[in-house]
Structure 1
């Protein structure tokens, strides 16, 4: 009797998600992610690369629009023409940083205030946009080399 009860309970637990999903056909607007959830490949987007050079704007547009809950990757390339930093404490606190890759070295920080490039090189930041708002990201004290990032 205990064996039959255990089998029936196991069967109920295993079929409950299948039965529940059959009745949820009316929710077509819900995002569908893989087993990795919001970190799955279908939720990833590459952003245009940023170029860090003395006296040159970071991008042509000067703005980026992101969607909260989307995983992004952005590449920052410095040409070494000048020692330059990219600061954006507000922006870095509005995202969850998965990793920063510098010359094949993967860094998984708990928090970042800025990145400074002393020489030519490339850094790639992978992150999840979280907190909606408009944030400034760029070279401190430079209106030309500042990027306005909006998370919606």
Structure 2
């Protein structure tokens, strides 16, 4: 006969909340979150210095358009190499299954929270800007 462990309802109600508070949240743990430099979309201006990301890490980045021109940011290969948790625009949270590009018709800011997944080299670019308006990204 196997011994059984019987826990009272009172013990469970006091132990479980304490266990939940101490338990790590995995990929969403605060220790696994990193903020990336803001991407600023402006007519003819570079997008920023290259990023080196680590697979399995949660990142947040703000993308801001200054309104100087209608600008898109495209990078389908990169967007398929990450898992997008949410996109926030003016307090509205969007949880997409995928993304190909975003476009700003006027000035504004959006925030994207994502987990880097697939190692490789990727590029975000503005289709209008040529090579000067690219952001090189490496996921290790």
Task: Answer yes or no: is the 8 Å Cα contact 1:99–1:108 preserved in 2.
Answer: yes
Aligned counterparts of 2:139 and 2:114: Cα–Cα separation in 1:
13
Aligned counterparts of 1:147 and 1:5: Cα–Cα separation in 2:
61
- Which residue number corresponds to residue 135 of structure 2? 147
Q: Which runs of 4+ in 1 moved over 6 A?
A: none
SS at match of 1:42: helix
- Which residue number corresponds to residue 7 of structure 1? 5
Aligned pairs for 1:42-53 (under 5 A) are: 42-53=31-42
- Unmatched tracts of structure 2, length 5 or more: 8-21
Match of 1:122 among 109, 113, 117: 109
- Which residue number corresponds to residue 21 of structure 1? none
Residues 2-39 of structure 1 show CA distances to partners (whole Å, capped at 9, x for unaligned) of xx83338x8xxxxxxxxxxxxxxxxxxxxxx9531111
SS at match of 2:3: helix
Question: Pairwise CA RMSD of aligned residues?
Answer: 1.9
* Larger-Rg structure: 1
Aligned counterparts of 1:47 and 1:6: Cα–Cα separation in 2:
50
Match of 1:86 among 73, 78, 83: 73
